[in-house]
């Protein structure tokens, strides 16, 4: 009897084992099918589980985020940068304002409102689209903190409806010094726009920044969000009702951030205000003014000066996701031009741009060469994700069609080049990889924190043959020449100077690539 019992138990075990094996096989098959159905089709390679983190991009993102802290002016809170301290504490005092916060523009100590507002708009857009990606690698809170550091400044810089302070410091005076921000002694003059001296570009870009940021803080800080939105509406009204180029009205800015026109900023600001308010007035504005300002059918490069490609992608979001607007005649020109921008980026497209290095990097300008490839790659991932999320299978470029994965592959190629996959084997993101610039054109990084130097005697650090004593982690330098060479020299500001708006662009790009899940349908 004992033997029979033993035999039956053996059979039971064998039977149960078969059932378990079948269940495991079925689970594996289901998982593979589920992953195939839901994977982000990166480059047509191995299956990637949605939401999995790419360690390389995650590490790069964590480093890139640090540059915002390096650039902070004012009374620093929870300062983690050992060689930075409080600075610019009296900025704005001559007008009775507290303009101590904000970010220094680049390797100098200027606060230029135009590119700083663009930095805030791009950082907001990145958080809105890819905040869940940032959160997965613990970078969402740092991003929001850096954004608020800028918007706090912008709020104080807008003391009344038709007045906006757009610059702290005189660049001529500032650039005659080589010193640390903590010890700078040069006069911090202020520049403003108002009804007598309008500056539509800066007012509109600042309106865009405020509107986009209002969406970022809508849930976490409703009161602050409402304050931002109030400023955004006032600034857009100021920009639209008192039109005039700040570059024309304030010629001194032309040597630094010369604007080529304000129509793009008006469209950009109205687009962001529509997203923030859903007030049809702003949608009507972009529809009615498209023919005059949008340059339909002519793809261009996204930058601090040209917001048209960004506007075209942002408004395409509405045609992808907002019911009732997909066939809107007023938005059709934006969508078609956005498609043309995307078609120009994919290397195998019949309308692909020839503005590339042999290694495949988009290359448009000698100064700050990486701005266009990084901004283009960011827009490409956005559009790719809009296609994926909306179930749009192809993008038609002439007689050829492309998939979302083709856009993402292009974006990855630009990111990888930037991070070291280039002829110089150089990572242009300082602090990432084994080889990156050591002589970055950046005053604070080039001068030891304990050095006792003034305005003039600090220039010995500019001409020093030693690497920077402080690493400007997260700085994205200007980048290579067309022949893909790069000179790591401190006086090579053309190639080796970082900027805060570059950082906003690279944070957006890396955030889009850091995990494999696609865009959300709504910011709300």
Catalytic annotation, residues? 441
Quick one: DSSP state of residue 149?
H
Q: How far apart are the first and last CA of the chain?
A: 71
CA distance 351 to 245: 33
Q: Is 90 exposed, middle or buried (CB count within 10 Å of its CB: 0-12, 13-18, 19+)?
A: exposed
Distance between CA 346 and CA 363 in Å, rounded? 14
Query: Coil, helix or strand for 168?
Result: strand
Helix orientation angle between 371-390 and 500-513, rounded to the nearest 10 degrees? 30
CA distance 466 to 469: 8
Phi then psi for residue 112, to 5 deg, are -95, 115
- 3-class DSSP state of 381: helix
Look at the alpha carbons of 151, 509, 201, 335 in this order and tell me if their dihedral is positive or negative. Answer: negative
Q: How far apart are CA 168 and CA 297, in angstroms?
A: 38
Q: Measured between alpha carbons, how far is 321 from 380 in angstroms, rounded to an integer?
A: 17
| Burial degree of 267 (CB within 10 A; 0-12, 13-18, 19+) | buried
Q: Residue 179: in which H helix or E strand, if any?
A: none
CB distance 53 to 514 below 8 Å: yes
CA 312 from chain centre, in angstroms, equals: 16
Of 354, 361, 346, which Cα lies nearest the Cα of 394?
346
DSSP count for the chain of H helices, then E strands: 20, 5
Which H, E and C letters describe 257-289, residue by residue?
Answer: HCCCCCHHHHHHHHHHHHHHHCCHHHHHHHHHH
Q: At 517, is the secondary structure helix, strand, or coil?
A: coil
Residue 420, token pair as written in the block = 């070291």
**Measured in whole angstroms, how far is the alpha carbon of residue 494 from the centre of its chain?**
21
User: Alpha carbon 306 to chain centroid distance?
Assistant: 14
Cβ-count burial 295-332 (b if 16+ within 10 Å, e if not): beeebbbbbbbbbbbbbbbbbbbbbbbbeeeeebebbe
Contacts of 11 (CB under 8 A, 6+ apart): none
């Amino acid at each position: 009897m004992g033997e029979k019992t033993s035999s039956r138990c053996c059979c039971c075990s064998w039977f149960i084992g078969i059932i378990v094996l079948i269940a495991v096989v079925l689970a594996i098959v289901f998982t593979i099918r589920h992953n195939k159905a839901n994977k982000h089709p990166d480059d047509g390679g191995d299956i990637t589980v949605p939401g999995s983190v790419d360690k390389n991009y995650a590490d790069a993102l964590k480093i890139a985020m640090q540059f915002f802290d390096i650039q902070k002016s004012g009374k620093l809170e929870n300062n983690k940068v050992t060689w930075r301290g409080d600075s610019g504490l009296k900025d704005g005092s001559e007008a009775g304002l507290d303009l101590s916060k904000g970010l220094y523009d680049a390797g100098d100590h200027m606060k230029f409102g135009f590119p700083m507002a663009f930095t805030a708009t791009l950082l907001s857009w990145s958080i809105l689209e890819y905040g869940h990606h940032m959160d997965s690698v613990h970078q969402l809170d740092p991003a929001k903190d850096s954004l608020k550091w800028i918007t706090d400044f912008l709020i104080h810089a807008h003391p009344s409806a038709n007045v906006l302070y757009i610059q702290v410091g005189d660049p001529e005076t500032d650039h005659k010094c080589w010193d640390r921000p903590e010890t700078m002694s040069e006069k911090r003059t202020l520049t403003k726009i108002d009804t007598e001296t309008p500056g539509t570009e800066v007012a509109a870009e600042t309106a865009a920044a405020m509107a986009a940021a209002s969406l970022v803080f809508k849930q976490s800080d409703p009161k602050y969000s409402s304050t931002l939105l109030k400023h955004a509406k006032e600034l857009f009204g100021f920009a639209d009702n008192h039109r005039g180029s700040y570059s024309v009205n304030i010629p001194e800015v032309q040597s630094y951030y010369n604007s080529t026109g304000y129509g793009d900023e008006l469209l950009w600001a109205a687009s962001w205000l529509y997203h923030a308010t859903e007030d049809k007035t702003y949608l009507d504005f972009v529809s009615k003014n498209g023919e005059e300002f949008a340059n339909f059918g002519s793809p261009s490069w996204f930058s601090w000066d040209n917001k048209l490609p960004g506007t075209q992608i942002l408004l395409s979001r509405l045609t992808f996701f907002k019911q009732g607007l997909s066939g809107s005649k007023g938005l059709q020109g934006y969508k078609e031009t956005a498609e043309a921008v995307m078609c120009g980026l994919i290397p195998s497209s019949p309308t692909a741009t020839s503005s590339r290095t042999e290694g495949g990097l988009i290359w448009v300008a000698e100064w700050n060469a990486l701005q266009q490839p990084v901004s283009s790659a960011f827009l490409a991932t956005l559009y790719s994700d809009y296609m994926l999320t909306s179930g749009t299978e192809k993008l038609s470029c002439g007689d050829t069609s492309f998939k979302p994965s083709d856009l993402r592959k292009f974006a990855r190629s630009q990111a990888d080049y930037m991070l070291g996959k280039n002829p110089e084997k150089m990572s242009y993101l300082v602090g990432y990889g084994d080889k990156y610039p050591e002589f970055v054109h950046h005053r604070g990084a080039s001068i030891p924190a304990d050095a006792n130097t003034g305005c003039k005697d600090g220039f010995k650090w500019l001409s020093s043959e030693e690497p920077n004593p402080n690493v400007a982690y997260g700085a994205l330098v200007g980048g290579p020449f067309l022949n893909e060479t790069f000179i790591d020299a401190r006086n090579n500001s053309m190639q080796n100077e970082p900027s805060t708006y570059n950082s906003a662009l690279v944070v957006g790009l890396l955030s889009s690539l850091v995990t494999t899940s696609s865009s959300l349908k709504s910011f709300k």
